[in-house]
Chains A and B, each alone.
Chain A
Amino acid sequence: MKLSRILFGAVVASLPALLCGQMLDPSLLLKPPTNAWPTYNGDYTGRRFSPLSQINQSTIKTLNLAWVHRVMPGEVPGSIVGGLGPAARGGGSSEFGGPQIKSTPLMVNGILYFTTPDNTWAVDARSGRELWHYFWRTTGGIHIGNRGVGMYGNWLFFETPDNYLVSLDAKTGKERWHVQIADVKQEYFSTPAPVIVGNHVIVGTGGDSLDVPGFLEAHDPETGAIQWKWWSEPLKKGDPGSETWPDEYSMRHGGGMTWIPGTYDPELHLYYIGTGNPNPVMAGQSRKGDDLFTCTIVALNVDTGKLVWHFQTSPHDTHDWDSVQTPVLIDGEIDGKPRKLLAQASRNGYFFLLDRTNGKNIVARPYIETLNWSKGVDSEGHPIPNPEKEPQVSGVLVSPPSGGATNWPSPSFDPETGLFYVSTSEAFSEFYLTDTDPHPEGYGAAERASGRLGSTLRAIDYKTGKTCWRHDYPGGGGISGLLTTAGKLLFSGDGSQHLVAFDPANGKILWHAGLAGNISNGPETYMLDGKQYLVVGAGDSLYAFTLAE
C-alpha cells in the first residue's frame, strides 16, 4: 500500500501544474467513491459499493427526483465536432432504437462526464445542465453502446465505434488528439470505457464477424502513443497457450475481444480483465483445443502488459459466451484466513472465485439452475463443455443462450453483507451449425431463441457460489447494472422501467421509481455539498435523485 501511494504521488507530481478546476486527483481512484465517481466502476475494485449512507433504509422514503437530463446526440447547434466521417452520417442514435446511455458517468469536481456512441457530454452534477457536447463524425462501426470515459488530470479519453481513442480537454470539450486502435474494415468496433492506471490509458476493442484477434493496449495520456499491446491469443507456435490451438492460422484469427473495462490491484500491480469468445464464434471445428486466452480471466502487469496468470472460464467456447463480465476484487476470508480474491459471474452461467495473486480457482459453480452444457468442472475448476451441446446441424437446446446467464451490466459486491449481486436470465436457445466446412467463418451457426423461464436478481455467497436469496421478476425483468451502498441498499432496474431499491440482506423491496425507460447503465452515487445524489441512466436520459429537504 505504501509503495502504491508513493507511485501515485509520483504520478501526481508529473502532471501539469493545473491542480484546480476539473482536474482529477488520482488518489481518488484508490479508495471507495464518495465525493467523486472517478472511473467506470467508481474505483478499481469493480465492486460498485459506495460507503455513502445518507440515503439509507430509513431515509429512502423521501428519495425524490432532483433533475432529469435528456441527451441530444449528433451534430446539434453548439456541438464541438470531430471525427473523420462525412457530416451526414450518424446522430448517435444508432441502429438500436434511439440513444441508450450505457456509460457510467464519471463525476469529478461537480461535473458528470458520459457518452453514447460518437458523443461525449459534460453536465453539471448538481443541476443536470449541459456544459459542452462533443460529437465524433463516424466512418462506421457498430453503434451498439459506449461504456464511457476515462479521466487523467484534466483530460478525458473515450473510444469510438470506428475504433479511435479520442482525448478531450475536460474543461472545454475540445479535442486534444485521436489515434486509431483498430481497423473498422476488419469489423472491429469499440465500446469500452478507457481505464486510467498511473499514466496508462488502457483500452480494448470488440468485433466478431470476420475472425480477427483481440487485444488490450495502453496509451500515453500525453500523446496517445502506444505503450504496450497484449494480444489475447498466442502469435506463433511455441508461445504460451499455442498448444491449445491446432495451428498458427487459427490462433491468429481467434477472437478474444476486450470490451468491458477491467479492475486493478495497486498492491499487486495487476490489471484484471476478462476476454471474449473465440472465433469462428459457434463453429469450433477449425480451432480444436481450449483456445487460450479466449473466454479467460487474465492478470496483466499494468506497466508492461505481460501476462502474469490466467484462468479460462469457457475452454473451447462455441456459444459466444464472452467472459468479459467485471472481475470483482474482494478482500475476504477463506477458511478463516484473509485472502485477496477475484469473483466473476460469467456469461456461461458459472460463478468463479479465484485467488487474485495467482489465478488459482477456489469456487466454480453454476449460478443459474437451467445451465445444461457442462459435464462439471475439472480438478482446477475449469468447466468441462459437453461436446454434444456444441451447435449441430439438427439443432441443440442450450441454456444459457448466447446472450448468457448475465451479460455486461455491472454486478456489485457489498462487503457488509459479503454477498455478490448479479442480475440473471434463465433462458434457452437452439443452436444450428450452418457452416460445416473444415474452416468455417464468422459465426458459423444460427441461433433461435427457444424460451425463457425467468429473469432474476441474485445474491451469491462468494465463498460458496450458492444463491442466498433471489428475486424473480414477475414480468420477466431484464439484466440490469447494480449498485450497493453502506445505506444498506441495493439498486437495480426491474425490466419494467423502474429503478428499485432492495434490502441487500434479504431482497425485500424498499423503494421504487418509474422512469421513461429501462435502466441502461449501472447506477452510481456521490456526495456534493453535503447531499447524496443517486444517478442512473435510462435510455436517452440521466435521472438524479436526492432526499427531500
Chain B
Amino acid sequence: MRTTTAALLLLAGMAIPLAAQAPAQRPAQNGQNTPVTPPRRGLGGREYPDYDQAEVQRGQTLFVSTCGFCHGANAKGGETGPDLLRSVLVLDDENGEKIGQVVLNGRPDKGMPKFNLSQDQIRDIATFLHQRVKDAALRGTYQILNIVSGDPKAGEAYFNGAGQCTQCHSVTGDLAHIGSKFDAVTIQQKIVMPREGRRRPGTPAAPDAAPVQATVTLPSGQTVTGKLEHIDDFTVALTDANGDYQSFTRNGDTPKVELKDPLKWHTDQLLKYSDADIHNLTAYLVSLK
C-alpha cells in the first residue's frame, strides 16, 4: 500500500507538471485529514519554522481577548483594525520584536492604544500570527473539508444505471465496505480517476492498477503481447508474459501497436460526468460501511 501511494503521488505529480508557476505543493492522492508531508516553504520559497503549538494556543487565546475586537478573532481585520496576516510588519517580524514595539507603544496616530503585555505574551501573540501566515502560505497543508454533499440514493441509481459501474464493480465484491476503508476524498478520487496521471495510452501505471496491455505485430506477422512499459513516436517497450523486457523501434505505423487500457471507461467518463454524478456516487460509496 505504501508503494502504491508513493507511485500514485509520483504519477499525480507528472500529471500537472506546470501547475501554477510553482508546483511545490502538488495535487496528490492524499485522503481527507491526511495532508501530504507539510512543506517547509511557501511558494515564494520563504522558510517557515515549526512553531511551538503551546505558544500558538496561548497566543490565540490572548489575541482573541486582547486584539480581536479591532483586528478580528482570526486576525484578518475588523471594524477598525487592519488584517494582520497581510501586514508587512508582521511578515518582517521575528520572535515578536517588531510586533512588540507596536503593542507596547500603540499607534496613537491610527487610534491604537498601548497594551501592557509581558515579553512572553507578546511572543505568544507573534507566534500565533506567524502560524496563521504559514497556514495561508503553505497550500500543501490545506485541509479538504467535508465533501459529502451528494444524494446516496441518486448515487446508487447512477451506479446501477447510467454509470454502468456494475459492468466491472460490485458493492458486495471489490467495493464491499469501501466506506469504512477509505475517507471520502480518496473514494471520490477513485471514482473520478483510479489511475490518476496515467496518460492515454501511455506511461506505466501504478503497480496495483490494471496495466495497459500492448500488442506489437511485427512485419513478419509475429505478435508480442505484454504490459506496456513505454511508448513514444519512436519506441514501444513492454514486459512479456515471461517477464522479459522487449522494445521495438517505431517508424510511423510499423510495427503495428495496439493498446488496451482496462481503465479507459474512467478516462472517457471525464468528459461525461456531471459534478452531481460525482457527488452522488461519492455519497453512495461512503455509505457502504
Contact = CB atoms under 8 A, between A and B. Distances in A.
B270 A436 contact: no
A253 B200 contact: no
Contact of A388 (B201, B267, B275): B275
Interface string A436-473: 11010111011111111111000000000000000001
B68 interface: no
B44 A430 contact: no
Contacts of B88: 183, 185-186
Interface string B194-205: 001111111100
Nearest to A443: B139
Chain B interface, >50% SS class: loop
Contacts of B43: 142, 187, 189, 207-209
Nearest to A472: B200
A451 B267 contact: yes
Interface in A95-118: 95-96
Contacts of B21: 144-145, 191, 206, 208, 257, 259, 276, 322, 408
Contact of B185 (A448, A476, A509): A448
Among A140, A259, A320, find the residue whose CB has the most chain B CB atoms closer than 10 A. A140
A276 B133 CA distance: 22
Among B23, B197, B235, B270, find the residue whose CB has the most chain A CB atoms closer than 10 A. B270
B19 A320 contact: yes
Interface string B110-154: 000000000000000000000001001111001111111110000
Nearest to A324: B21
A399 interface: yes
B230 A451 contact: no
A514 B249 CA distance: 13
Interface stretch (A52-60, A349-357, A492-500): A492-500
B276 to A, nearest CB: 10
B248 interface: no
Contacts of A320: 19-20
Contacts of B23: 96, 144, 403
B199 A449 contact: no
A258 to B, nearest CB: 11
A394 B279 contact: yes
A395 B279 contact: yes
B19 A189 contact: no
A446 B18 contact: no
Contacts of A455: 199
Contact of A449 (B27, B91, B185, B230): B27
B161 interface: no
A186 B232 contact: no
Contacts, number: 249
B44 A187 contact: yes
Contact of A434 (B143, B234, B271): B143
A140 B47 contact: yes
Contact of A209 (B74, B136, B147): B136
B24 interface: yes
Interface in A388-425: 388, 392-397, 399, 401-404, 407-408
A142 B196 contact: no
Nearest to A253: B86
A427 interface: yes
Interface string B251-274: 000000000000000110011010
A428 interface: yes
Contacts of B138: 209
A388 B274 CA distance: 11
Interface stretch (B9-17, B58-66, B219-227, B239-247): B9-17
A397 B192 contact: yes
A211 B15 contact: no
B285 interface: no
B173 interface: no
Nearest to B19: A403
A512 B233 contact: yes
A210 interface: yes
Nearest to A252: B86
Given A401-B19, A473-B232, A451 B45 contact: no
B77 interface: yes
A432 B27 CA distance: 11
A327 interface: no
Nearest to B88: A186
Contacts of A249: 77, 83
Contacts of B273: 397
Contact of A429 (B27, B91, B231, B275): B27
Among B133, B189, B234, B282, find the residue whose CB has the most chain A CB atoms closer than 10 A. B234
Contacts of B91: 183, 185-186, 210
A448 B74 CA distance: 27
B79 interface: no
B42 interface: yes
B22 interface: yes
Nearest to B132: A441
B177 interface: no
B16 to A, nearest CB: 4
A435 B199 CA distance: 31
Nearest to B203: A476
B45 to A, nearest CB: 4
Nearest to B199: A476
Given A210-B86, A394-B147, A475-B199, A184 B16 contact: no
A46 interface: no
Interface in A269-317: 276, 281
Contact of B146 (A143, A191, A393, A443): A393
Given A184-B44, A452-B15, A474 B24 contact: no
A535 to B, nearest CB: 22
Contacts of A187: 42-46, 137
B214 to A, nearest CB: 11
Contact of B92 (A185, A393, A397, A408): A185
Interface string A240-278: 000000000100010001010000000000000000100
Interface of B: 12, 15-24, 26-29, 41-47, 74, 76-77, 83, 85-86, 88, 91-92, 133, 136-139, 142-150, 185, 188-189, 192-193, 196-203, 230-235, 266-267, 270-271, 273, 275, 278-279, 282
Given A393-B146, A432-B144, A453-B200, 6 more contacts: A185-B91, A187-B43, A395-B188, A451-B192, A451-B267, A453-B270
10 contacts: A144-B23, A191-B21, A253-B86, A388-B275, A394-B279, A446-B144, A451-B198, A452-B198, A476-B203, A509-B233
Interface of A: 95-96, 140-145, 161-162, 183-189, 191, 206-211, 249, 253, 257, 259, 276, 281, 320, 322, 370, 388, 392-397, 399, 401-404, 407-408, 427-430, 432-437, 439, 441-443, 445-455, 473-479, 494-496, 498, 500, 509, 512, 514
